[in-house]
Amino acid sequence: MLGRTSRSHHSRKRLSLCLSMALLGSVWVTGCREDAPDDVIRSENTTESLVFVKTRAEETLNRSSAESNLYILSPISPDGEVTPLTDFVGASVSDPCVSFDGERVLFSMRAPGERDRNIWEINVDGTGLRRVTSGGGPDFDPLYLPDGRIMFTSSRDGEMDEYNHSPAEHLCVANLDGTGMERISFNQSDDFDPTLLPDGRILYTRWEHFGTMNRFPLFASNPDGTGTFHSFGPHGRNFFHAVPTPDGRVIAIESTRINEDAGPIAILKPEQGPADPAPNNDIHWQALTANVNTTGAPWPYGAFKYPHPIGSNLYVASYTLPAVNEGEVDYGLYTFSLRQEGEGTPEDPAMIYIEDLTFLFNDPEWNEFDAQIIAPREKPPVIPSVVDHSKDFGVFLAQDVFNRGASDGQEKPLRGVDPISEIAVIAGRPTMRGERNDFSANEFEKRSLLGFAPVYADGSFKIKVPADTPISFATLDEHDRGFVVKRTWLYVRPGETFDQCVGCHEDREAGEPEATNPNPMAANQPASDLNIAPSERRIINFENDIGPIVEAKCVSCHSPQLIPVETEDEIPDDVTMLAKQLIETPPAGNLDLRMELPEVIEEGMNRNFPIAYLNLSGESMEEFGGSEGNVVTPAFPRRSKLVDYVMALGERTGLGEHPTGSNRLTWEEQQLFNLWVLLGAQYK
């Protein structure tokens, strides 16, 4: 048992804690444990307890393997006793989840002397320790499901995320004995922190890195992985450690960083819509600790993690004192309550305020994380599985591609003005553990083309696609260029028909999204069959498709030229004298498309890409002898000068196709350039 002195803060930080917490916007602080009088320290009599993690290091997004254990605080009071629930030496323990009956705790652990991190279970009295999953992993974020199984996240499939190529976690389910394990989410980056919603669905944070898109919104799905769709979160805001509140809202940590799950506590208001778009932040969500920054360390007002309801309008969260860098953070446990003003209707939006932020527990040598109440709780309803494993496909139905907001910076096709008669359907190609990262010089990862499908006159389409496969699609204009690109990986489970997409990034405000085409033509038509095996999917890359065309038809003009001169007066100012009677002139358009390697590889690139690819892939070209600006915007042919030139469109309209003469491109070659850009301008 830990003595009472272990709950004190570092004395040198007491004053700064009180000062900083007094500046947390609307928060009324009721105590710094060592300096506050006894009558402002919360000390209600309660028989309930908290389970939480004590760890030597700050853990961020399941990337820590530091020494840690589970502890219990009982009762929930600054004067409660703290005792270890696990007492391993050399183990790394995280992610507790209390069972519905309040008698057991699931958790993630790398056991002493082991390499793999798996899911374990223990009784709340410290007995009955047992392993649930084994081998593979690492496994994180366990969650009891109302049907008696468990959910957890794991990177045991060996896929790497699309950002920094670290192991990507996905949602998995299994029986309580670890049998029947099945992956149920198929994002190209991480899915993590699942929690149960009152209706039985799963809410979780999803890492979306689709090319230049890089965000962490909340997604929801059924426990079998069907019905997966965006739930909450605009561009530019990330939400971590989301948990439903008793009033039907969600409490979470707000951040604007990619790999930072600390920040202010936020209350999300789904009754006002999914904040996609979010014209007014306070309508869709509120930062309850407004002075805490969303941008990562330094933390001049401290930072929060893991808010969690513990009953009777009481919440617990981890909070660190002000810190200049990550090495100074010291997370302890605090409680608080919430107050609402307003009815929570579109006419009278709710405004939420945090009250009574109160010190609960801190050991200055450790960080305290992820506290949860040990008490019985009601099970959400069981949502029966509709997955049919006898099928290897699913069906996706979209109601109206013209029902679209323009808040993501893309164009908005207008019904009756912009002819949209077809979509291109794209499949992700995951990067596997140990695979070389030598396939792209831009932000886009590997993709393949499944094929094309018609868009009906009312804007609807219906496609049959491989199950458990990340897919995207792009509406095509009259020249087969990508008009609007879906920058989210979607998927269907075996036998699933997903028909809840009423638009394409449509404006979704309060209530359900407006269905502009509730009886789509595509619903009465057979789905376009794009259930293509991986070996038959079309890969269009520079190495095999674009490079040979460039070398045969482009490089003769788009490379430095040596020309003879008779006098120095004939030498232009922008060329270099190479010999007495030879000068080097820049390539046509100042665009160097030689197939040789550059003399100096860009720092950090560590790939052997030819000059032509670097100058066409969307990278800045100046350091490779190219012109200012990019001629390609990966995934967006309508924004790419290269496509304008080869197809005589855009700024090239009326000037003819390029190149001309004997080097003129065939229609098939023009389409290769167009589709290469649409797929992300990959090298291989």
User: What is the C-alpha separation between 332 and 321, in angstroms, rounded?
Assistant: 9
Contact 477, 638 (CB under 8 A): yes
Contact 508, 515 (CB under 8 A): no
Q: How many domains are contained in the chain? A: 3
What are the strands, taking DSSP E only, across 362-443?
367-374, 393-398, 422-428, 431-432
The answer, yes or no, to whether the previous bond of 138 is cis (omega within 30 of 0) is yes
The strands making up 130-131's β-sheet, listed across from edge to edge, are 92-98, 104-110, 118-123, 130-131
Contact 462, 528 (CB under 8 A): yes
User: Which pLDDT band holds residue 630 (cuts at 50, 70, 90)?
Assistant: confident
Q: Is the pLDDT of residue 575 over 60?
A: no
Contact 616, 642 (CB under 8 A): yes
Instruction: Output the domain CATH number for residue 201.
Output: 2.120.10.30
User: What is the C-alpha separation between 639 and 632, in angstroms, rounded?
Assistant: 7
User: What is the C-alpha separation between 118 and 104, in angstroms, rounded?
Assistant: 17
pLDDT digits over 325-350, tens only? 878 899 999 999 999 998 877 778 88
What are the strands, taking DSSP E only, across 191-276?
191-196, 202-206, 218-221, 229-232, 238-244, 250-255, 265-268
Place of tokens 């004192």: 321
User: Which pLDDT band holds residue 212 (cuts at 50, 70, 90)?
Assistant: confident
Contact 565, 583 (CB under 8 A): yes
Question: Which position has the higher pLDDT, 57 or 581?
Answer: 57
**526 and 629 in a common domain:** no
* DSSP calls for 117-168: -EEEEEETTS---EE-S-SS--EEEEEE-TTS-EEEEE-TT-EE-TTT-PBP
C-alpha closest to that of 158 among 148, 168, 146? 168
User: What is the C-alpha separation between 41 and 79, in angstroms, rounded?
Assistant: 9
Q: Has residue 421 been placed in a domain?
A: yes
pLDDT digits over 507-562, tens only? 556 666 678 888 999 999 999 999 999 999 999 999 999 999 999 999 999 998 87
* DSSP calls for 427-487: EE-PEETT----S-SSS---EEEEEEEE--TTS-EEEEEETT--EEEEEE-TTS-EEEE--
**553 and 518 in a common domain:** no
Q: What is the model's pLDDT at position 536?
A: 95
**262 and 221 in a common domain:** yes
Q: Has residue 684 been placed in a domain?
A: no
Q: Going by DSSP bridges, is the β-strand pair 528-529/461-466 parallel, antiparallel, or unpaired?
A: parallel
* Residue 327 CB contacts under 8 Å (≥ 6 apart), including other chains: none
**522 and 564 in a common domain:** no
Q: Has residue 304 been placed in a domain?
A: yes
Long-range contacts of the stretch 178-184 (C-beta < 8 A, 24+):
178/119, 178/131, 178/132, 178/133, 178/134, 180/149, 181/133, 183/154, 183/157, 183/468, 184/151, 184/221, 184/223, 184/224, 184/225, 184/493
Q: What is the model's pLDDT at position 354?
A: 94
User: Which pLDDT band holds residue 153 (cuts at 50, 70, 90)?
Assistant: very high
What domain range includes position 218?
4-374
Most confident of 61-75, 495-509, 533-547, 647-661: 533-547
> Considering 512, 536, 560, which residue would you say is the last residue of a domain?
536
H-run or E-run covering 547? helix 547-553
Total-model pTM: 0.89
Please give the C-alpha separations between residue 56 and each of 91, 240, 458, in angstroms, as whole numbers.
11, 21, 59
pLDDT digits over 240-283, tens only? 999 999 988 999 999 999 888 999 999 999 888 888 776 667 78
**405 and 492 in a common domain:** yes
Between the two ends of the chain, the Cα-to-Cα distance in Å is: 59
Q: Is the pLDDT of residue 401 over 50?
A: yes
What single letter denotes the amino acid at residue 41? Answer: I
Q: Has residue 604 been placed in a domain?
A: yes
User: What is the C-alpha separation between 62 and 192, in angstroms, rounded?
Assistant: 9
Question: Mean per-residue pLDDT for 387-411?
Answer: 89
Contact 137, 170 (CB under 8 A): no
Assign 202 to helix, strand or coil. Answer: strand
Torsions phi, psi for 92 (to 5 deg): -120, 115
**442 and 342 in a common domain:** no
- Structural tokens at position 613: 């690819």
DSSP 308: E
C-alpha dihedral sign at 100, 101, 104, 105: positive
**546 and 531 in a common domain:** no
> Considering 340, 374, 408, which residue would you say is the last residue of a domain?
374
Q: Has residue 382 been placed in a domain?
A: no
**64 and 85 in a common domain:** yes
Q: Has residue 386 been placed in a domain?
A: no
User: Which pLDDT band holds residue 59 (cuts at 50, 70, 90)?
Assistant: confident
- Structural tokens at position 22: 């007094």
User: What is the C-alpha separation between 296 and 260, in angstroms, rounded?
Assistant: 6
Q: Is the pLDDT of residue 18 over 70?
A: no
User: What is the C-alpha separation between 142 and 151, in angstroms, rounded?
Assistant: 6
User: What is the C-alpha separation between 103 and 505, in angstroms, rounded?
Assistant: 44
> Considering 374, 403, 426, which residue would you say is the last residue of a domain?
374
Q: Is the pLDDT of residue 590 over 60?
A: yes
**39 and 169 in a common domain:** yes
**511 and 546 in a common domain:** no
**219 and 363 in a common domain:** yes
Q: What is the model's pLDDT at position 581?
A: 57
Q: Is the pLDDT of residue 578 over 60?
A: no
For 218, other C-beta atoms within 10 Å of its C-beta total: 24
Q: How many residues does the chain have?
A: 684
Q: Has residue 384 been placed in a domain?
A: no
Q: What is the model's pLDDT at position 27?
A: 43
Q: Has residue 387 been placed in a domain?
A: no
Q: Which of 26-30, 57-61, 137-141, 227-231 has the lowest mean pLDDT?
A: 26-30
* DSSP calls for 569-580: GG--TTSEEEET
pLDDT digits over 183-206, tens only? 999 999 999 999 999 999 999 999
**144 and 48 in a common domain:** yes
Q: Is the pLDDT of residue 576 over 80?
A: no
Q: Is the pLDDT of residue 566 over 70?
A: no
User: What is the C-alpha separation between 609 and 626, in angstroms, rounded?
Assistant: 14
Question: Mean per-residue pLDDT for 634-653?
Answer: 93
The strands making up 150-154's β-sheet, listed across from edge to edge, are 139-144, 150-154, 170-174, 182-183
C-alpha closest to that of 679 among 506, 549, 546? 546
**Burial zone of 337 (CB within 10 Å; 0-12 exposed, 13-18 middle, 19+ buried):** middle
Question: Which position has the higher pLDDT, 3 or 287?
Answer: 287
User: What is the C-alpha separation between 484 and 404, in angstroms, rounded?
Assistant: 10
C-alpha closest to that of 48 among 72, 70, 75? 75
